[in-house]
Each structure stands twice: as structure tokens, then as C-alpha cells.
Amino acid sequence: MNDKVFEVLKILSENSKVTPQEISQMTGFPEEEVEEIIRKEEENGVILKYKTLINWEKAGEELVFAVIDVNVTLSREKGYDDIAKRIAKFPEVHAIRLVSGEYDFQVVVKGKNLKEVAFFVAEKISTIPEVRDTVTHFILRTYKEEGVLLFSDEEDRRLAIVP
Amino acid sequence: MRRTGGLQLSPDRINKKVQEIKPSGIRRFFDLIIGRKDILSLGVGEPDFPVPWKVREEIIYSLEKGVTSYTSNHGLEELRQAISEYYRKFGVECFQKDVLITTGVSEGFDIAVRAIINPGDAVLVPDPSYVMYKPLVTLAGGEAISIPTNPDFRLNYERISEYRDLRPKVLILNYPANPTGVSYARRELEEIADAVIENDMLVVSDEIYCELSYNNKHVSIASLNGLGDRTIILNGFSKAFAMTGLRVGYNIAPPDLLDAMLKIHQYCMLCAPISAQIGAIEALKNEEDELEDMRAEYLRRRNYFTKRLNEILEVNIPDGAFYAFPSIQSTGLSSEEFTERLLLEKNVAVVPGNAFGECGEGYIRCAYAVSMEKLKEAADKIEDFVRSL
């Protein structure tokens, strides 16, 4: 992938609302070229989706997130990918990653309340034959998400005019 | 004994050299702005990034451990060593012994000119240039001579050689430059170096914006043939590592000049604050990546802002630093009129070009060290303002 594509992706990854015209102004690439890069990368599945990062807690929406450590038993027929795909397809599953360490998968589950998440894990995850055991950690507060701080304790103290 | 009551105080209470110095041209704007929260300021000559967290965290840790003493006059050995290694990337072969830690380029410049200037020595200062050079040359007893550089704001062999008859002793160089954003490629520096050697001058080279160089990799003039023995490099952590308020910088110079500066430094400053020095070590050790991200972000802002400005005013594309220096001559307003009206009518603060010397008249300095959102808003407002004239 060339530098131009990377630069466009980098800018979009910080702010998906930025327009091709603005990207062109920031980079000096012609606007049509920027549009072409975006179109191509959307097509290639490099650009997956344009989403908005929302502080749900601040918005007053009572969502419950939990991180589930999942241990699995592998077999000739079923490897990590097969099990992961099966878990990933549940709409309640927000993210799933294969990780190193004491357990195999880290699954992030989203639900309306504690009960919903707990029952989902009990009924849908734990009952998968390859799943050996699970440990559920409910998320109590998020401080940083996707590289963005969810709190602000610093203000711009610079003087308005500095030579 | 103190006398009071209606007595005319003699101006001779104040040192004559200090009397000669004009107050900074931007002080008036401070008064207009002070206390106002609604100002969108492009007048700030410092990064909008805070001090990197790793640096702050290291300083906090050192404070917890009670590391609060003086350091040697030279500064911490580990920091001087790290700087000497770091500066090799700009082509300069230097060692720990060649580095003196200062409380920033402001002090670094002061001790440099005091160490080399005799009363009446001619010192060439580009015009426009950063506000401190001429006053500090005057205080050091020198004769500050302006080299007009408009409209391209570049020094070259001819412009320097014109002053041959004055037998100038020192050339003040600053690149990438505040307020113009001008920087030099190697071949331009070689031309400047020729003029320096022909006139047997010294160079005081303020390279504080060296990491914010967009077109070419920064080359220190001290790395050129014959210039190492003639150059005092001034640099610091304020711009590249966003450590403005920590006040830490350094001078790199040949041994005799370094010793001379050290004499002044040890009496007037003793040493740079140890906490800032600790932070500076961490910055050099672990901040290269963040520095690259910062540079890339400034470059995007430069491109965006100059593109927008060029639709309404004339502006050279800056080679470095975070300043655009557009001409406002097409508006028929003076720098100060433009600045004042822009502030009153649109709440946007910029700095009038004449604050940086006579040749800055007809220009304004806009610092793009603000977020892209603010930059966009400022560009819109400047455009509205210019079109309304």
C-alpha cells in the first residue's frame, strides 16, 4: 500500500466526517484522487464502516458491557477460527479476539442490563461444546476508548498571543 | 533613602541600553485580549500538544524520589550525551563536552551574544525575525543591523555580502524561521556559509524548529565545511517536544565559545531546572514516534491553511515551523489595522508582521498550532473579514 493511501486512511481514521475536498487541502493530493482512493479502499474492505465514537455513559444510555475470558478445547474438526466465527455471529458480541495467556478468547459482550449479559453468556457461550469455561468481568467504567480519553482534566492554558 | 511625593523621577534611573529598547510590538494586543475567553487565537507561538505524558510521568516520578537539587553548571551528563548523539542526525559531529544545557533558547541566545560581542560590533539580523534577537544584541553592546529579506524572506550570499563594509562580526540565523516559516536546503546554506567565511564572521544559529521541517530534512549549518568552528547552535525542547513552559534548551559550540558562555551561564543561571532536564532525557529517549505524528499533523494543517489563505491573500508555503506569514497588502490595511480589526470584528487573533521588524509590515503571522477544527473556523472568519473589506 502506498504512502498516499496510508495518509488518507490515517486522516479518516481520526475523523470520518472529513470530506475529500478537505483531505485534498490537507495533503495536496487532487480531490479526484482522494475520492478514488476512498472508493477503492471501501471496495477492498480496508475501510469497513464509518462509525461514531459515543460516550454512552454521558448520554445517559444504560448499556452493560462485559469482558468474557473464554477457554476452549480444540479438536481435529474444530480449530480456533471455527469456534471464533460461531461466537462472533451473535449480535450481542461486540468484539472477539484470540489472545495469548491463560485463556483463549477475549469476548466483549454488550447488553441492556446485567441479567441479559449473564444469561447470554450462560445460555449461548458456555453451552458451545468446545467451550471449557468462562470468566465474566462486567465493565464498571471506561476511561479510554479507541485511543480517545473519556475524561478531560486538562485545559489549554496557553496565552492568546506569544511571539 | 526613598523620596516620594510629586518628584519627577529621572529616566536615568533606568540603564541607557534598556531605555533604547522598544517595548514589544504585541503588548498592545495583550491588553485588547486579556480576560476574553471568546478569542480564536492564531497568535500562539507554541504547540497545542501538551507535554507528552511519558515526559510528564518521568518528571513526576523524579519529584517523588526527591530529585530536586542543582545540577552541574553544564547540565546533566546523561542529557548532554543524549543531545550530542541526537544532533548527529542533523549532520553535526559533536560530543558531550560540546553541549551546554540552558533554560531555553532565550537564555542560550543571551549568553551566546554576550560571550562574543564587544561594544559596537556589527551583528547582522534578518528582518523580519523573532523578537528577541535585536534587543538582546543591543543589551550585549552590539550594533544590530537589519538585513531586509522581503518579499521571499530568504537570506543568501548577496544579501549578506552587501554589509561587508561594516565588517560584521556575527550573523544571526534562524531556520525554520519564526515568523516566516522559511528554511534552507543544503545548497542555500552553503551559499550563506560562503558569505560567512569570506567576511570572517561567527554564526549564531537558532534551530529550535528543526524537527518541524517539511520539505527537506533539517541540515545544521554547523555541519558544513569550515562552519563547525564558527557556529553556536541554539536549540531546545519547547517546539519539537512541546515542552515550552519547562524551559530547557541547549547550546552546542566549539570549546572556547562554550567555555565563554559557561562563565556567564554559571553566574546568571547556575543551571537549568533539574526536573526539566530529567524530562528532556525522557523526550530524547522515547518520544521519536510521537514527534513524527506531531510533524505529520502540522504538515496537514500547513497544507490546509495555506491553501485556504491563498484563495484570499498571498502567502508563501512555509518550509517549516508552524507559522504562515501572508501578505495583507492587497487589503490596503497596515499590519496593525488588519490585526486589530480582525480581532474586534471576528474575534480572531493573529500577530501583526511589524512586531518582527520593519520588513514585516504588510504581513501578519498566523500560527497553525491549533486543532484542525479551529483552523477551519479561523480560515472561514479570515475569509469573511477580507471579503468584507
CATH code of the domain in which B107 resides: 3.40.640.10
Position B388 scores a pLDDT of 96
Position A112 scores a pLDDT of 93
Residue B158 reports pLDDT greater than 60? yes
Q: Give the residue, B8 or A23, on which the prediction is more confident.
A: A23
Judge contact between B205 and B231, C-beta under 8 A.
yes
For a pLDDT cut of 70, what percent of chain B falls above it?
98
Mean pLDDT for chain B overall: 94
Residues of A in contact with B41 (CB under 8 A): 160-161
Look at residues B286, B320, B346 and tell me which one is the last residue of a structural domain: B286
CA distance B78 to chain A (A): 30
DSSP assignment letter at B95? -
pLDDT band at B260 (very low <50, low <70, confident <90, very high): very high
**Cβ-based neighbour number of residue B139 at 10 Å:** 17
Position B9 scores a pLDDT of 86
Whether residues B134 and B146 share a domain: the answer is yes
Question: Does a structural domain hold residue B206?
Answer: yes
Q: Tell me if chain B has a CB within 8 Å of the CB of A15.
A: yes
E strands present in B149-256? 170-174, 202-206, 231-236, 249-252
> Minimal CA–CA distance to B100: which of B89, B88, B109?
B109
Mean pLDDT of the region A15-24: 96
CA dist list (Å): A56 to A13, A52, A67, A90, A144: 20, 11, 17, 21, 13
Domain count, chain B: 2
Question: Does a structural domain hold residue B212?
Answer: yes
Structural domain boundaries, residue B83: 68-286
Residue B54 has which C-alpha cell?
Answer: 511519558
Mean pLDDT of the region B331-340: 96
Whether residues B329 and B264 share a domain: the answer is no
Residue B361 reports pLDDT greater than 80? yes
Whether residues B37 and B163 share a domain: the answer is no
Q: What is the pLDDT of residues B105-123, one digit of tens each?
A: 999 999 999 999 999 999 9
Whether residues B99 and B204 share a domain: the answer is yes
Position B119 scores a pLDDT of 96
User: Which candidate from A156, A158, A163 shows the least CB-CB separation from B351?
Assistant: A163
User: Which candidate from A25, A158, A160 shows the least CB-CB separation from B307?
Assistant: A25
Judge contact between A145 and B28, C-beta under 8 A.
no
Mean pLDDT of the region A110-136: 96
Residue B49 reports pLDDT greater than 90? no
Position B261 scores a pLDDT of 98
CA distance B133 to chain A (A): 12
Mean pLDDT of the region B229-236: 98
Position B317 scores a pLDDT of 96
Position B1 scores a pLDDT of 45
Q: Give the residue, B8 or B244, on which the prediction is more confident.
A: B244
Position B4 scores a pLDDT of 57
For a pLDDT cut of 90, what percent of chain B falls above it?
88
Mean pLDDT of the region B167-194: 98
Whether residues B85 and B214 share a domain: the answer is yes
Sign of CA dihedral B57, B62, B68, B71: negative
Question: Does a structural domain hold residue B57?
Answer: no
Residue B339 reports pLDDT greater than 60? yes
Look at residues B268, B286, B304 and tell me which one is the last residue of a structural domain: B286
CA distance B226 to chain A (A): 33
Question: Does a structural domain hold residue B111?
Answer: yes
Q: What is the pLDDT of residues A75-117, one digit of tens each?
A: 999 999 999 999 999 999 999 999 999 999 999 999 999 999 9
Alpha helices in chain A (DSSP H): 3-14, 20-27, 31-43, 56-59, 80-88, 114-120
Q: Give the residue, B87 or B9, on which the prediction is more confident.
A: B87
Judge contact between B47 and B294, C-beta under 8 A.
yes
Whether residues B26 and B109 share a domain: the answer is no
Whether residues B282 and B236 share a domain: the answer is yes
Q: Give the residue, B277 or B34, on which the prediction is more confident.
A: B277
Q: At what angle do helices B335-346 and B372-388 cross, to 10 degrees?
A: 110
Whether residues B161 and B84 share a domain: the answer is yes
**Which secondary structure element, helix H or strand E, spans residue B387, and what is its range?**
helix B372-388
pLDDT band at B181 (very low <50, low <70, confident <90, very high): very high
Question: Does a structural domain hold residue B126?
Answer: yes
Mean pLDDT of the region B343-347: 94
Question: Does a structural domain hold residue B245?
Answer: yes
Judge contact between B284 and B61, C-beta under 8 A.
no
Whether residues B77 and B216 share a domain: the answer is yes
Residue bearing cell 445460555: A123
Alpha helices in B199-287 (DSSP H): 255-268, 274-286
Residue B318: give its domain's CATH number: 3.90.1150.10
Look at residues B286, B305, B335 and tell me which one is the last residue of a structural domain: B286
Rounded Cα gap, residues B15 and B19, in angstroms: 6
Q: Strand, coil or helix: what is A17?
A: coil
Whether residues B110 and B222 share a domain: the answer is yes
Residues of B in contact with A158 (CB under 8 A): 44, 46, 48
Whether residues B77 and B171 share a domain: the answer is yes
pLDDT band at B5 (very low <50, low <70, confident <90, very high): low
CA distance B72 to chain A (A): 31
Q: Tell me if chain B has a CB within 8 Å of the CB of A31.
A: no
Residues of A in contact with B45 (CB under 8 A): 162-163
Residue B188 has which C-alpha cell?
Answer: 542555500
**CB atoms B33 and A160 under 8 Å:** yes
Q: Give the residue, A23 or B33, on which the prediction is more confident.
A: A23
Question: Does a structural domain hold residue B63?
Answer: no
Question: Does a structural domain hold residue B380?
Answer: yes
Mean pLDDT of the region B208-223: 96
**Cβ-based neighbour number of residue B345 at 10 Å:** 12
What number of H helices and E strands is found in chain B? 13, 13
Whether residues B307 and B282 share a domain: the answer is no
